[in-house]
């Protein structure tokens, strides 16, 4: 039992008990950088063995040795372009040879950049669909078939975005692909539940990473469009907050959660959606006058 007496809890700290993922083998696509790296770090701290995979082996190996040193956990770095079915199959075999099993698949790898859609070549559009949707399909089908054939339970966690359901201008290939991943999450949550395989998704709002910020807010766009202003809580996400949620969703504590998408965005997408949310701009002192005006109309 953890003793939380006299301990002030912070969202920048780990949340689960120390051994919450003990013995679990987790494959994290895109685990060498950004949010994938942050989630990998926390999984290791909670006792998991993690396979990190992406296209850049040197980056993966650096991350693996950094995190092994930091956490004392075991990391296997495997180069794998998730767009390529054969590479995914080889990555799966490497994971099984190293750790004997796979318990969890975290589909986190993604590609994205901002562009007016009419400027995209058809192959540029494909490059995003292929990484996000086809890559998630390849890893899910490959590892899912292994679980089903060997009668092993499994857990899949997919990282989507809040524009998976709203859509978004200027990142149309990403929006289409993430919508597809969300559909896959909900569809297979039902279809593969009979095999003991759970599917959930996380929809993060803005969590600054080098990969995302260089492609989505290049140059001075980060200052021009301060992401904090889009969030009712007036801040961006901390990587540990996302890692806490991900660890819960891949752990046995969430055993009854299946087919869910959990938004973690400080209220960002709802701020954009609510019909009258623009009234936030009205100063508090004006509300007395407005109330009088409204009531005066009602009594006539
Ligand atoms: C127009 C572009 C472009 C741009 C690339 N292309 N950038 N077109 N505007 N800014 C075109 C290229 O000209 C090429 O077209 C095609 O896209 C593929 O580009 P390549 O560089 O050849 O592809 P590749 O090396 O495979 O790189 C894939 C990539 C790259 C997606 C383009 O950005 C990448 O490696 N990304 C991985 C990491 C990443 O994107 N992380 C951010 C995730 S953030 P042709 O015509 O030659 O085929 C995210 C969250 C969003 O998803 C939510 C935030 C709140
Ligand atoms: P990131 O660091 O750029 O992560 C993307 C990862 O995907 C990289 O490690 C990259 O590694 C890997 N990748 C790209 N193409 C690949 C391919 N073909 N095969 C295998 N791996 C590939 O960006 P991030 O911000 O951490 O994003 C992580 C996830 O969070 C993504 O799913 C993203 O859509 C989602 N997300 C992020 C935010 C945010 O604010 N940061 C918000 C909402 C959702 P290589 O280049 O080495 O291949």
Could you read off the pLDDT of 164-209 as tens digits, one per residue?
Answer: 999 999 999 999 999 999 999 999 999 999 999 999 999 999 999 9
Atom of ligand 2 nearest to the CA of 31: 9
Kindly indicate the confidence band of residue 7, based on its pLDDT and cuts at 50, 70 and 90: confident
Pick from 163, 207, 159, 160: nearest CA to 11 = 207
Residue with tokens 């998408």: 261
| SS3 label, residue 202 | strand
pLDDT at site 232: 97
Catalytic, out of 42, 163, 170, 256:
163
Pick from 62, 95, 57: nearest CA to 76 = 95
Cβ pair 165, 210 in contact under 8 A? no
pLDDT at site 4: 58
pLDDT at site 9: 84
Question: Alpha-carbon distance 192 to 123, whole Å?
Answer: 33
Q: Is the CB of 206 under 6 A from ligand 2?
A: yes
Strand partners, 261: 201
Q: Which residues contact 8 (CB under 8 A, 6 or more apart)?
A: none
For ligand 1, the distance from its centroid to the CA atom of residue 48, given in whole angstroms, is 32
User: For residue range 261-282, what is the model confidence (pLDDT) as tens digits?
Assistant: 999 999 999 999 999 999 999 9
Residue 94 neighbours by CB distance under 10 Å? 17
For ligand 2, the distance from its centroid to the CA atom of residue 155, given in whole angstroms, is 20
Question: Alpha-carbon distance 11 to 167, whole Å?
Answer: 29
pLDDT at site 70: 98
Q: Is the CB of 91 under 6 A from ligand 2?
A: no
Atom of ligand 2 nearest to the CA of 132: 32
User: For residue range 206-257, what is the model confidence (pLDDT) as tens digits?
Assistant: 999 999 999 999 999 999 999 999 999 999 999 999 999 999 999 999 999 9
Q: Indicate if 146 belongs to the active site.
A: no
| SS3 label, residue 76 | strand
The residue-averaged pLDDT of 125-135 equals 98
pLDDT at site 300: 58
Pick from 181, 99, 197: nearest CA to 147 = 197
For ligand 1, the distance from its centroid to the CA atom of residue 174, given in whole angstroms, is 10
Pick from 19, 79, 75, 78: nearest CA to 49 = 75
Cβ pair 246, 39 in contact under 8 A? yes
Helix (H) / strand (E) containing 149:
helix 135-149
Kindly indicate the confidence band of residue 8, based on its pLDDT and cuts at 50, 70 and 90: confident
pLDDT at residue 145 is higher than 80? yes
Cβ pair 240, 14 in contact under 8 A? yes
The residue-averaged pLDDT of 141-158 equals 98
pLDDT at residue 2 is higher than 60? no
Cβ pair 165, 179 in contact under 8 A? yes
Q: Which residues contact 61 (CB under 8 A, 6 or more apart)?
A: 77
Helical H segments across 150-220, by residue range: 163-166, 172-191, 210-216
Kindly indicate the confidence band of residue 3, based on its pLDDT and cuts at 50, 70 and 90: low
| SS3 label, residue 156 | strand
User: For residue range 14-43, what is the model confidence (pLDDT) as tens digits?
Assistant: 999 999 999 999 999 999 999 999 999 999
Kindly indicate the confidence band of residue 44, based on its pLDDT and cuts at 50, 70 and 90: very high
> 202 to each of 18, 168, 210, 245, 264, how far by Cα in Å?
22, 18, 20, 8, 7
| Mean pLDDT of all residues belonging to the chain | 96
Question: Alpha-carbon distance 140 to 14, whole Å?
Answer: 28
């Amino acid at each position: 039992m953890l003793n939380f007496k006299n301990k002030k809890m912070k969202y920048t700290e780990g949340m689960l008990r120390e051994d919450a993922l003990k013995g679990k083998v987790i494959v994290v696509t895109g685990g060498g950088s950004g949010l994938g790296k942050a989630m990998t770090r926390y999984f290791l701290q909670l006792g998991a063995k993690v396979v990190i995979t992406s296209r850049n082996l040197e980056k993966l190996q650096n991350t693996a040795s950094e995190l092994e040193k930091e956490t004392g956990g075991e990391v296997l770095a495997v180069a794998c372009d998730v767009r390529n079915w054969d590479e995914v199959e080889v990555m799966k075999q490497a994971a099984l040879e190293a750790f004997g099993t796979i318990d969890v698949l975290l589909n986190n790898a993604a590609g994205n950049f901002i562009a007016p859609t009419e400027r995209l070549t058809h192959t540029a559009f494909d490059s995003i669909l292929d990484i996000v949707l086809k890559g998630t399909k390849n890893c899910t089908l490959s590892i899912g078939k292994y679980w089903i054939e060997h009668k092993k339970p499994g857990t899949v966690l997919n990282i989507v975005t809040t524009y998976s359901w709203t859509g978004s201008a200027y990142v149309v290939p990403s929006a289409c692909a993430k919508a597809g991943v969300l559909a896959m999450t909900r569809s297979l949550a039902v279809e593969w539940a009979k095999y003991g395989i759970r599917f959930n998704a996380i929809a993060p709002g803005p969590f600054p990473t080098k990969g995302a910020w260089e492609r989505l807010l290049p140059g001075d766009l980060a200052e021009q469009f301060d992401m904090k202003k889009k969030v009712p809580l007036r801040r961006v996400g901390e990587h540990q907050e996302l890692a806490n949620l991900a660890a819960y969703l891949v752990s046995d504590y969430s055993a009854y959660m299946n087919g869910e998408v959990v938004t973690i965005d400080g209220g960002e997408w709802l701020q954009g959606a609510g019909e009258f949310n623009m009234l936030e701009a009205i100063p508090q002192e004006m509300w007395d006058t407005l109330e009088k005006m409204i009531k005066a109309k009602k009594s006539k």
